[in-house]
Amino acid sequence: MIGEGRLTREFVAYGRVDDCPVIDTHAHYGPYQAIHFPRHRPERVMDTLDRCGVRWMLTSGHVALVDPRRGNAEIAELVAQYPDRLRGWWVINPNYPERTEEELDAFEAQSGFVGFKFHPNGHGTPLTDDRYGPVLEYANAHALPVLSHTWKGAGMASYREVAIVADKYPEVRLLMGHAGYGDWVESSKVARDHEHVYLELTAAYSVRGALEIMIEHAGSRKITFGTDHPWFDPHYGIGCILSAYMTDQDRRNILYRNAQALFGLPLEGAGAEGEAT
């Protein structure tokens, strides 16, 4: 089912809609050893953003997911090069807890990053592990965003672990990357029941019916758009939002309004609240 509102008609006709900018809250950067990304270079990234109407992209480096010291520095350089299009996620690798203090100092000294990126599954460390504690305490004290990979499965980074962390650190703006993939109803209820927990849509957008479940149980105000770019093209994810059962107001909440409020990103010309669609 393709939506029939103005947003769908204009995205299909022009590839972008000027008064409906997109904020991609979950992207990556750089080449990756095991797969060819034809559009990973900065100029190509900018071209993709322009074609798809993506106004802001929040990104973490593939290198940073393995070696944060080198990879976060790479992203700091990149976002300094494109300060009006990109912001970074500061990756924390909990396998090196002796570096955490140094990482927090380095985070504090910069201005191009919005918060911290965790990947419990990739780093083999449950979200509830003590080694994330100092970072979560810092994020809680400063009401900062944390984007964590989340996925179905007990004991690592499912809605269960998110609920525990959200109860313990209620000021952290916790984005559930992939929306707790697979546990759609339970994850949506965790977002509903915790003021600062959000469902981030990377990969989740393409599962039939999942978006409608999230809107029913959590509401479109608790959902942010993301793509894992350059793994996936933003147009794919945008098409899924346009094709799901929801109103154009819901689509605007998901595509930019929620992220704009969460991250304080300037957006010129975005559609006004409550406009006719």
User: What's the min distance (Å) between Cβ of 117 and Zn ion?
Assistant: 8
User: What's the min distance (Å) between Cβ of 181 and Zn ion?
Assistant: 11
Residue number, 64 or 215, with CB nearest to Zn ion: 64
Residue 223 contacts residue 249 (beta carbons within 8 Å): no
User: What's the min distance (Å) between Cβ of 52 and Zn ion?
Assistant: 18
Tokens of 104: 């927090």
| Alpha-carbon span 65 to 91, nearest angstrom | 6
Nearest to 115 by CA among 85, 73, 74, 143: 143
Q: Which of residues 176-235 bind Zn ion (CB under 5 A)?
A: 228
Residue number, 100 or 150, with CB nearest to Zn ion: 150
| Alpha-carbon span 95 to 124, nearest angstrom | 8
Binding mask 237-266 for Zn ion (x = CB under 5 A): ------------------------------
SS3 assignment, position 171 = coil
Residue number, 7 or 52, with CB nearest to Zn ion: 52
Tokens of 110: 């910069």
Residue number, 20 or 254, with CB nearest to Zn ion: 254
Residue 80 contacts residue 110 (beta carbons within 8 Å): no
- The Cα-based distances of 141 to 45, 131, 173 in angstroms read 34, 17, 11
What DSSP string runs through 130-154? GGGHHHHHHHHHTT-EEEEEEESST
Residue number, 36 or 274, with CB nearest to Zn ion: 36
User: What's the min distance (Å) between Cβ of 29 and Zn ion?
Assistant: 11
User: What's the min distance (Å) between Cβ of 149 and Zn ion?
Assistant: 6
Residue number, 74 or 228, with CB nearest to Zn ion: 228
User: What's the min distance (Å) between Cβ of 259 and Zn ion?
Assistant: 16
Q: Please give the backbone phi and psi of residue 114, each rounded to the nearest 5 degrees, phi first.
A: -95, -20
The residues, any chain, with a CB within 8 Å of residue 63's CB and separated by 6 or more, are 30, 70, 71, 74
Total of residues contacting Zn ion (CB under 5 A): 1
Question: Does residue 10 belong to the site contacting Zn ion (CB under 5 A)?
Answer: no
Q: Which residues bind Zn ion (CB under 5 A)?
A: 228
